[in-house]
Amino acid sequence: MGFKWIDKNIPKIGVRDLARGCKPFSDDIRLPDDALVLKILRSRRSHARLLGLEVAEALQIPGVIGVLTGKDVPGRNLHGLINKDQPLLAEDKVRFVGEPVALVAAEDEKSAREAVGAIRVTYEDLAPVFDPEKALENDAPLVHKKGNLLFRRTLRKGDVAKRFAQSHVIVKRSYSTPHLEHSCLEPDAGAGYVDQNGTLVIYASTQNPHYDQKEVSGILGLQGEKIRIIQAATGGGFGSKLDLTVQGFIGLALHHFRRPARLVFSREEAFLATTKRHPLKIQMESGATRDGRLLALRARVVCDTGAYASYGIAVATRAAVHATGPYDIKNVEIESLAVYTNNPVAGAMRGFGTPQMAFASESQMDILAHELGMDPLEIRKVNALRPGSSTATGQKLSESVGILETLNAIEPHYRKAKTHWKKDGDSSCGKKGIGLGAMMYGIGNTGVQNPSSARAEVDTKGRVTLFTGAADIGQGSSTVLAQIAAEVLCLDPHEIQMVVADTKWTASAGASSASRQTYISGNAVRAAAQKLLDVLLAEAADVLKTPRTDLVLKEGYVIGPEETHRKVSLSELAEMANRKGRPLSGEGYFDPETTRLDLETGQGDPYATYAFGCQLALVDVDELTGKVSVSEVVAAHDVGKAIHPQNVEGQIQGGVAMGLGFALMEKYIPGVTDSMGEYQVPTCLDMPRITTIILEDPEPTGPFGAKGVGEPALIPTAPAVLNAIADAVGERIYDLPANPEKVRVTLHR
């Protein structure tokens, strides 16, 4: 089937405005001269009772308008994506360094900073707990009264003990991953004002404006329509801008002072206060037959969710579901725990626990291959999921199961590397290595309702407008959604007006996370565009006195059969429909078919579709310094259908970059890492040559067959790099990152 706009590399929607600086970020939004500057006083204690706050001295500073505390929150002083357990401003207790204690509003930056320093806080220190394993002990300090175990997810299928007894080889290892900082180019920021109707209007750097609206309305005790959230241009998110960051504080200031206000985090504040990637401790045991067939897998996963829940439940669940990787393992026993500690809050970060689990499961695959004398690619092909296979949750896969295709696509590059990458042998001070990493990723949220809505309409001038709540945070969702609507309506995507992520005008599209917008919002947009098309053709059938089945929409006209020479423009149709009181619009809705996971066994259908991929990494390891240089990455990903191939390629390249950081250098140390000076991320000098292979195994329920690639692009990179390092040096690293110090120790082990 040929497409006009699908599978086309059109210029991205809004790219001209961004390039010219016409689309403002939160810190650029112009506010009136009387706008307030907001600053937050944050706890410097990990765990303490909050006995008193003295703000009188701060209020005496010229330019200070007010200081707000938890007692000034008029509604519910709690928020959270899944569990409402995190106060906007601490009242009785602080649970991590960086927790907000008071909000200062002042006329200028200097006064606000002075006021923050003048607030006197009286604490009673409590014993903290930083190790999630120790937090589970009976005598551990309690982070929350209900206990330190936030959530347990168990997953059981088959007879694990029996199959381990039948295994020819059993590999049991422990793995660990650290806290990671999102390192968005734009730190968190927002601005707001009260409009003429008394509505609190908040511009924010966000991934989910409709969630923000709901949370802020709860905090302030106001009806939702009295809060309007507009997504400003957003300089990256990666999950950190799913939680409330600035929105609640701006709303609180607007509510109390009725003056415009702005809150911008410094880079140091972003490091201190925003959510981190969950550190995971993983014990994994795998059993296989002589021919490499996986018989059983047992795993225990401990997720450090920090002081508050955030996305901890989702991460623990997804970690369990994806522990098997893209392999058919019929006997599985997994326990995944999300545990409170006094560490920074851990939330969503690109992959929701799957990158950590892939590091463990793909390391297991290489170790098994070594023990069995098998080729690492072959053991993956033997066990790869296929149509008809069942996942660890018992979900039977029928179509769009592209893992074997990605392995086959990687094979020529892998065989060539085996032959030529080491043909000259290792250099005098370095060793070369080849590694593979494969993955699967469930698209959307896990086993819960996960809907999106969209609306398309034609105005009296014949212009089509698409309304979607999907926040574009740089991943290009607005472009892809415009292409989908344009394909249905036979229009140029750039002729479609876009109204995006504004709670006044758009219905909820859910979060820009879990690689869900192309698949879920894409389906909602396609449905909205199709309903609008049906309305247009029905209206035109009356005007042209022609059966609907003989009409087509093309380039702004509804056209009858060629011999009739009849046509009517969209503007004419809209004017006639408007006079009749019949607006030309269509609404679309899509919620993927999933089932909740059984509380005891974890069995169910948590996702409607899965993405698959495999990456090959070629590395050089310097024996003198321990430095690892990644020379090349070949990345093959099954995306169902590439709506915008260049955008897909960009996502893959960005995922590889983030995966390299996860593998080799990134580690946030609470209490130590406070800026980019102490936190290393890959630069252009660290990037390898990247060969992208886009595979399309169409998803029948996807818009034109599409799935998603945002998170899948990241997941296989670290496993491939770590397997390549092990191939180079003959020893394996089990805790990330594989920085030079760690590699050097491994070399001399």
How far apart, in whole angstroms, are the C-alpha atoms of residue 421 and residue 200? 60
pLDDT at 534 over 90: yes
Residue 693 backbone class (left: φ over 0; alpha: ψ -120 to 50; beta: rest)? beta
> Which residue did the predictor score with more confidence, 576 or 693?
693
Q: Are residues 649 and 712 in the same domain?
A: yes
Considering the domain architecture, whether residues 353 and 407 belong to the same structural domain is answered as: yes
What is the Cα–Cα distance from 168 to 647, expressed in whole angstroms?
45
Say what the pLDDT of residue 577 is: 86
What is the residue-averaged pLDDT of the chain? Answer: 96
Q: Which two tokens stand for residue 477?
A: 């969702």
In terms of domains, do 632 and 713 share one?
yes
Percent of the chain scored above 90 by pLDDT? 93
Residues 6+ apart with CB under 8 A from 243: 81, 274, 275, 310, 311, 345, 347, 348
Lowest mean pLDDT among 147-151, 218-222, 297-301, 577-581: 577-581
- 18 band by pLDDT with thresholds 50, 70 and 90: confident
Q: Which of 117, 120, 112, 115 is nearest to 38 (CA)?
A: 112
- Using an 8 Å Cβ cutoff, are 643 and 6 in contact? yes
Last residue of a domain, one of 212, 234, 264: 264
Distance between CA atoms of 607 and 639, rounded to whole angstroms?
15
pLDDT at 563 over 90: no
pLDDT at 428 over 80: no
Residue 578 pLDDT more than 90? no
Q: Is residue 480 located within the same domain as residue 560?
A: yes
Looking at the structure, tell me whether residues 251 and 307 fall in a common domain.
no
314 with 153: CB under 8 angstroms? no
Residues 382 and 369: their CA atoms lie apart, in Å, by: 11
User: Is 1 inside any structural domain?
Assistant: no
Distance CA 125, CA 127 (A): 7
Is 581's pLDDT higher than 90? no
The residue-averaged pLDDT of 146-174 equals 98
Residues 461 and 432 in one domain: no
Tens of pLDDT, residues 101-145: 999 999 999 999 999 999 999 999 999 999 999 999 999 999 999
Q: What pLDDT does residue 2 have?
A: 83
Q: What is the pLDDT of residue 231?
A: 98
Task: Report the CATH number at residue 526.
Answer: 3.30.365.10
Structure tokens at 242: 């799913």
Dihedral angle sign, alpha carbons of residues 514, 602, 401, 704: negative
The owner of tokens 């936030």 is: 150
Is pLDDT above 90 for 555? no
Which CATH number do you get for residue 210? 3.90.1170.50
Domain boundary at 532, 555, 590, which? 590
649-678: average pLDDT = 96
> In whole angstroms, how far apart are CA 153 and each of 150, 313, 317, 325, 327?
10, 8, 6, 17, 20
Q: What angle do CA 632, 637, 638 make, to 5 degrees?
A: 165
Mean pLDDT of 724-737: 97
Please give the backbone phi and psi of residue 271, each rounded to the nearest 5 degrees, phi first: -65, -40
Sign of CA dihedral 509, 515, 516, 518: positive
Tell me the C-alpha distance between 611 and 641, whole Å.
11
- Quote the pLDDT of residue 564: 82
* 274 part of a folded domain: no
Q: Which two tokens stand for residue 549?
A: 């089945």
Confidence (pLDDT) at 426: 64
Cα(243)–Cα(240) distance, rounded to whole angstroms?
A: 7
Nearest to 639, CA basis, from 689, 581, 708, 588: 708
Task: Report the pLDDT averaged over residues 480-494.
Answer: 97
pLDDT of residue 274: 97
Same domain, 202 and 250: yes
Give the end of a domain, one of 264, 295, 321.
264
Averaged pLDDT for residues 428-453 = 94
Question: Mean pLDDT across the stretch 358-387?
Answer: 98
Dump the DSSP string for 427-485: -TTEEEEEEEEEEEEE-SSSSS---EEEEEEE-TTS-EEEEE----SSS-HHHHHHHHH
- pLDDT tens digits, one per residue of 312-321: 999 999 999 9
Same domain for 455 and 436: no
Tens digit of each residue's pLDDT (9 = 90 or more) over 208-232:
999 999 999 999 999 999 999 999 9
CB atoms near residue 563 (< 10 Å)? 6
What's the one-letter identity of residue 210?
H
In the predicted model, what is the mean pLDDT of residues 56-63? 98
Residue 159 contacts by C-beta under 8 Å, 6 or more apart in sequence?
331
- Amino acid residing at 347: G
Residue from 83, 143, 150 nearest 336 by CA: 150
pLDDT bracket for residue 748 (50, 70, 90): confident
Q: Is the same domain home to 224 and 98? A: yes
382 by Cβ neighbours in 10 Å (0-12 / 13-18 / 19+) ranks as middle
Judged by phi (left if over 0) then psi (alpha if -120 to 50, else beta), residue 730 lies in left
474 & 570 share domain: yes
Cβ atoms within 10 Å of 498's Cβ, excluding its own = 19
Residue 173 belongs to a domain: no
Which residues constitute the domain of residue 508? Answer: 451-590
Number of domains forming the structure of the chain? 3
Asked if residue 468 lies in contact with residue 481, where contact means CB atoms within 8 angstroms, the answer is: yes
Residue type, 196: Q
User: Has residue 492 been placed in a domain?
Assistant: yes
pLDDT above 70 (res 1): no
Residues 118, 238 within the same domain: yes
439 against 427, higher pLDDT: 439
Please report how the helices 740-747 and 717-729 are oriented relative to each other, as an axis angle in degrees rounded to 10: 30
Is 180 within the bounds of a domain? no
Angle of helix 376-383 relative to helix 403-416, nearest 10 degrees? 170
pLDDT of residue 57: 98
417 with 504, same domain: the answer is no
Do the domain assignments include residue 614? yes
* Structural domain contains residue 52: yes
**Is residue 34 in some structural domain?**
yes
